[in-house]
Chains A and B, each alone.
Chain A
Amino acid sequence: MTTPAEPTLSQASPGRRALAPPSWTQSARLRRRVLGLCAFIFLAAGAVIILLPFGWLVSTSLKRPAEVFVSPPQWIPPDPQWSNYREVIQTWPFLRYGLNTVYVTLMVMLGSLLSCSLAGYSFARLRWRGRNVIFFLSIMTMMIPAQVTMIPLFSLFVALGWVDTLLPLYVPAFFGSAFFIFLFRQFFMSIPRSLEDAARIDGCGYLGIYWHVVVPLSVPSFITVAIFTFIGTWNDFMGPLIYISSESKRTLALALSFYQNYFYGGIHLHTLMAASLMVLLPCIIVFFIFQRHLIQGMILSGIKG
């Protein structure tokens, strides 16, 4: 392991020897460079492995049906079939499913941002009886697996006549979720109280302070929660699977699972991969635009949790 790096270093060392620190530093530096090289090779190899599935996805989505099942596979199709994407959009109500998904996702984002930020502000700043007990209970609800509430909620939505509508997928978001309330509370607690006091002297009520002081100062936290809810809702499968039965109300994730059932005889893998890529694309774009906010959110949840 050490041999390949040694020659370059021993060539470089004679000139420096006059000023060189004691020899243990030299060997430590050598060892660190070797370690750095190993780490770099490890990272690069891992990165290639991580990227391979993406390459496979794109490659398959651009192939002709006959080119998909060829061994050994061709990574770069000789004649990329961009028309596969058009075929998906034309033969499959892709836009219908897309609109359903966008609608549900936007509503969940709106509902979560409103309810969680207001509750987060209340827990962070306002004093009211029972606040700490309820906050503790709220944190505890994060421990409850969604499967426990799934069946009662289903029967509730049956009773309300909401099954096979999009309502069960987004209405609960307007009633908050513990994790995002917790995130907002953490953000809001770092806002200096003096700013709120200044707004109060200017005649702001609590809603005014929330709107004119808290919201403008916590745009990053709103973005973080928006992105988390976007990714979670966009990819959600179990919710639509349980509640949606009409074809016209399917979300992309649900529709994709049906697409698979119909066509996974093999022959349609090229369009299946094209459809999958199109479903993933919004998340990938959002990831690249808001990577920093996602990382901030992860760190906050990981360290403070």
Chain B
Amino acid sequence: MGRAERRELLAGYLFAMPWLIGIVLFTAGPVIFSFIISFTDWDLLNPPHWIGWANYATLVHEDPLFWKSIRVSAIYTLFSVPLGMAFALAVALALNMNLPGQSVMRTIYYLPSILSGVAVALLWQWIFNAEFGLINVLLRKIGLPAPGWLTSEQWALPALIIMSLWGIGGTMIIYLAGLQGIPPHLYEAARIDGANLLQMFRNITLPMLSPVLFFTLIMGIIGSFQVFTQAYVMTNGGPAHATLFFVLYLYRNAFEWLKMGYASALAWLLFIIILLLTLINFYMSRYWVHYDDAG
């Protein structure tokens, strides 16, 4: 190895050093540690003691709240992700039509997606207020029944799903970029062949957009299984555990009840669920995702 190569090697390691340390210290180490801890009973104050598969066995067989939290997160994902994708796609298609005012519209749709956290949760909590909230005021005005939303066991989760649709702007931007990357000659050729708009959408737009749709599907699922702030701030998991999201339940086990081992088992199950969903989607993607040769 020459001197120049050695210098490059050294520089390469040095430049990447913070990250290499970071991977070991803040990712790989903790992941392994978390796996080990998930087989123990640990309250952070006393030394952990080994209990084998007991945490996992309790989760699956004896913990109805675990199953409730899985169901809450799954239902939320099942609705918020596809609905969000559909709305984002509809908006992106419309924004891609060269209509007047499109850049203002794009800004408006994009803005809420960068806002998140406690302030947004508090705003929506007020919007969903059963008595004086914006939504029920509007519903009453047009003569529709006004549910209790966040105070109703039946409507709390739908409320959070509706709220999630406010933030579709990021997905919409990705779709818009995808749409602008479709070569116009494809549409021209289809038009000459006498295809109508619906046929063009089904046979050109959707296949050309499918890699991007696939990407946002995966990211959407991962994100929606990690919902926490809204549930913590707006409903605190209630009423009657109707919004007990998986990560909220994990947080309670870890930091309210100091059941670190149990919470680590939950975290590993979350990891496995996300991994499985991603793998299933990768497998399914063969049947609907189209990768262009050029792309």
* A interface, CB within 8 angstroms of B: 28, 31, 35-36, 39-40, 42-44, 46-47, 50-53, 56-57, 60, 68-73, 114-116, 118-119, 121-123, 126-129, 131, 134, 137-138, 141, 143-156, 158, 172, 174-177, 181, 205-207, 210, 231, 234-238, 241-242, 253-254, 256-257, 260, 269, 272-273, 275-277, 279-280, 283-284, 287-288, 291, 294-295, 298-299, 302-303, 305
Contacts and interface: CB of A to CB of B under 8 A. Distances in A.
14 contacts: A40-B94, A50-B109, A127-B5, A143-B222, A145-B226, A175-B19, A177-B22, A206-B8, A256-B119, A256-B122, A283-B114, A299-B177, A302-B173, A302-B212
Interface in B1-34: 5, 7-9, 11-13, 15-16, 18-23, 25-27, 29-31, 33-34
B12 A147 contact: no
B97 interface: yes
Contacts of B19: 115-116, 119, 138, 175-176, 181
Given A147-B270, A155-B44, A257-B118, A56 B99 contact: no
Interface in B75-117: 87, 90-91, 93-95, 97, 99-100, 102, 105, 107-112, 114-117
Contact of A39 (B25, B87, B93, B191): B93
Interface in B184-238: 191, 197, 212, 215-216, 219, 222, 225-226, 228-229, 232-233
Contact of A148 (B91, B126, B191, B270): B270
Interface of B: 5, 7-9, 11-13, 15-16, 18-23, 25-27, 29-31, 33-34, 37, 44, 87, 90-91, 93-95, 97, 99-100, 102, 105, 107-112, 114-120, 122-127, 131-132, 134, 137, 141, 166, 170, 173-174, 177-178, 181, 191, 197, 212, 215-216, 219, 222, 225-226, 228-229, 232-233, 247, 250-251, 254-255, 260, 263-264, 266-268, 270-271, 274-275, 278
Contacts of B120: 276, 280
Nearest to A24: B194
Per CB-CB distance, the 5 closest pairs between chain A and chain B, nearest first, are A175-B22, A128-B12, A235-B117, A302-B174, A126-B12
Task: Give chain A's interface secondary structure class.
Answer: helix
A128 B255 CA distance: 42
B124 A53 contact: yes
Contacts of A129: 9
A134 B267 CA distance: 24
Contacts of B87: 46
Contacts of A207: 11
B271 A148 contact: yes
Contact of A149 (B34, B115, B181, B222): B34
Nearest to B99: A40
Contacts of B250: 147
Nearest to B211: A303
Contacts of A149: 26-27, 30-31, 34
Given A31-B197, A128-B8, A260-B118, 17 more contacts: A36-B99, A43-B91, A43-B99, A50-B111, A69-B132, A73-B132, A73-B134, A119-B19, A144-B27, A144-B271, A145-B274, A151-B263, A175-B25, A236-B117, A254-B118, A275-B119, A276-B119
A14 B206 CA distance: 38
Contacts of A231: 114
Contact of B23 (A122, A141, A287): A141
A182 to B, nearest CB: 11
A238 B254 CA distance: 13
Contacts of A158: 44
A129 B1 CA distance: 12
Contacts of B15: 118-119, 121-122, 126, 206, 210
B18 A174 contact: yes
A128 B20 CA distance: 13
